[in-house]
């Protein structure tokens, strides 16, 4: 053990009665509290922002997957022109790297009517290969629709928002009116009710058999509104989208092969307002981290300055014995490391405990109409937590180099005389 480290340990772990008489004790305690509270706030901010971004993103992706392929002449409404999708195209897309699932879909606006109420909605048609895992996780009543290749199913899945607006429940029949050249009616049976908390989408979509839409639009079996593609890693969405473009750029979406080439868009392009809003949270998190590190750092600087002044006699004695400035500086840097470590330990305990309480009990509630989630979501990755701790430790320790330079200005004669 080096001499600076040995002296720093003796100072830090000296008997309690000596610490009680030290004028630096309150300042050191405030510095530790500043580090602890600052790190706790940073952990909570990181967990909330990450959780919020990922939770809202997962819900949006659950409704429309990560990438959609539609007709180039898409008119930005839910009356989409059809594209022709063969089994070979689906198989080719499913073989691409990072592609986890591929399925056809079709959409069509409708009006739902009961004896007392009516509501506008969009019927999203899917086939028997559709992955229902997202809606199964958010199912609040009933069951997921079961589709077969032989018979057209009248089962539909509606949202809890729609069920409450129309005062309907699982097992009820529901008339749907589709307005084209003339009004066409279909009667569906509600088999399940879901609630994702993403109210804007919950109120918009109900899910049923894709063949109803194909019949209503007089489409052939291989004509659909588009293809939804789910990815294994959505952080590579743009790269995968470009690969899909390369594989489908010369594929046309109708029987004649002259119109409606495929149009590939990511969900970020389809819902820019949501993802731009989520992107702004990164800036908020950076501001919080900078402010908290600054507050914790300057609190620590104040504590170390007072500690240096309190130990001025020791500094003067060490200089009189021949110790250079850097040797004495290292004593207080080691001391700073002990204090920072103690503050970070308490900060981690407080921050992680509060995150755990919110994650399991959902203490803080939110308005889903505004924030798309009903409680504050928490998600903290181990690598992000570790990186935050390492960054805080290094930055605050580097900030301690500034007050330690005051040691060079302390005169041994005046320091010893001062004592």
Mean pLDDT, each 10-residue run in order, the chain (419 residues): 74 58 70 90 93 92 92 74 88 91 94 88 92 93 89 93 92 89 89 91 93 92 92 91 83 53 90 90 88 86 79 76 78 84 93 94 87 89 93 88 73 59
H-helix or E-strand spanning residue 122: strand 118-126
pLDDT reported for residue 100: 92
- CB neighbour list of residue 78: distance below 8 Å, 6 or more residues apart: 107, 108, 109, 122
Residue 343 dihedral angles phi and psi, to the nearest 5°: -65, -40
Question: 181: which 2 tokens?
Answer: 């050249």
407 by DSSP, 3-state: which?
helix
- CB neighbour list of residue 246: distance below 8 Å, 6 or more residues apart: none
pLDDT reported for residue 258: 44
Give the torsion sign (CA, 137, 141, 146, 152).
Answer: negative
Question: 206: which 2 tokens?
Answer: 């109900």
Owner of token pair 């290094």: 394
pLDDT reported for residue 282: 86
Q: Classify residue 42 by its DSSP letter.
A: H
Nearest-CA neighbor of 289 among 379, 351, 358, 336? 351
Report how far apart, in Å, the C-alpha atoms of 102 and of each of 45, 79, 84, 91 are. Answer: 36, 22, 15, 8
Give the torsion sign (CA, 242, 244, 249, 252).
Answer: negative
Rounded CA-CA distance 277/53 in Å is 9
Q: Classify residue 379 by its DSSP letter.
A: -
Q: Note whether 55 and 377 are within 8 A (CB).
A: yes
Pairing of strands 183-194, 139-142: antiparallel
| Helix, strand, coil in percent for the chain, rounding step 5 | 55, 20, 25
pLDDT reported for residue 46: 93
pLDDT reported for residue 257: 46
Rounded CA-CA distance 386/402 in Å is 26
Nearest-CA neighbor of 34 among 398, 396, 311? 396
pLDDT reported for residue 372: 84
∠ CA 416-417-419, rounded to 5°: 65
Helices (H), 1-112: 3-12, 16-20, 25-64, 87-94
The upper half-sphere exposure of residue 34, i.e. CA atoms within 13 Å in the direction of its Cβ, equals 23
- Residue-wise burial string across 91-128, b where 16 or more C-beta atoms lie within 10 A, e elsewhere: eebeeeebbebbbbbbbbebebeeeeeebebebbbbbe
Radius of gyration over every alpha carbon of the chain, rounded to an integer in angstroms: 32
pLDDT reported for residue 19: 52
Q: Note whether 174 and 187 are within 8 A (CB).
A: yes
Residue 379 dihedral angles phi and psi, to the nearest 5°: -150, 115
DSSP secondary structure string for all residues of 203-259: TTEEEEEHHHHHHHTT--TTEESEEEEEES-GGGHHHHHHHHHHHHTT-BSSSSSSS
């Amino acid at each position: 053990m080096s001499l600076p480290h040995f002296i720093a340990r003796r100072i830090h772990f000296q008997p309690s009665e000596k610490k009680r008489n030290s004028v630096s004790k309150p300042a050191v305690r405030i510095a530790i509290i500043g580090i602890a509270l600052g790190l706790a706030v940073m952990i909570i901010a990181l967990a909330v922002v990450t959780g919020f971004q990922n939770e809202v993103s997962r819900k949006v992706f659950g409704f429309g997957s990560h990438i959609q392929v539609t007709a180039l002449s898409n008119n930005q409404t839910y009356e989409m022109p059809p594209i022709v999708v063969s089994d070979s195209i689906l198989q080719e897309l499913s073989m691409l790297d990072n592609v986890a699932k591929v399925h056809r879909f079709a959409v069509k606006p409708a009006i739902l009517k009961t004896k007392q109420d009516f509501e506008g909605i969009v019927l999203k048609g899917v086939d028997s290969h559709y992955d229902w895992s997202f809606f199964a996780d958010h199912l609040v009543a009933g069951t997921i629709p079961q589709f077969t290749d032989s018979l057209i199913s009248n089962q539909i899945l509606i949202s809890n928002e729609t069920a409450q607006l129309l005062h309907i429940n699982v097992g009820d029949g529901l008339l749907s009116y589709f307005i084209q050249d003339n009004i066409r009616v279909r009667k569906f049976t509600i088999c399940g009710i879901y609630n994702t908390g993403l109210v804007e989408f919950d109120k918009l979509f109900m899910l049923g058999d894709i063949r109803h839409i194909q019949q209503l639009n007089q489409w052939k079996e291989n004509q659909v509104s588009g293809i939804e593609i789910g990815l294994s890693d959505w952080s590579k969405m743009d790269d995968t989208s470009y690969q899909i473009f390369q594989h489908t750029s010369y594929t046309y979406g109708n029987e004649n092969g002259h119109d409606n080439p495929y149009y590939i868009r990511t969900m970020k392009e389809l819902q820019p307002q949501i993802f731009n809003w989520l992107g702004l949270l990164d800036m908020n998190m950076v501001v919080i981290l900078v402010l908290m590190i600054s507050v914790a750092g300057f609190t620590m600087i104040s504590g170390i300055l007072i500690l240096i002044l309190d130990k001025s006699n020791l500094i003067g004695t060490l200089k009189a014995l021949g110790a250079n400035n850097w040797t004495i500086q290292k004593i207080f840097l080691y001391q700073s490391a002990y204090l920072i470590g103690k503050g970070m330990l308490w900060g981690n305990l407080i921050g992680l405990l509060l995150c755990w309480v919110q994650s399991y009990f959902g203490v803080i509630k939110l308005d889903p109409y505004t924030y798309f989630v009903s409680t504050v979501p928490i998600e903290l990755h181990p690598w992000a937590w570790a990186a935050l701790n390492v960054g805080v430790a290094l930055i605050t320790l580097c900030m301690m180099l500034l007050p330690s330079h005051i040691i060079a200005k302390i005169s041994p004669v005046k320091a010893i005389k001062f004592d």
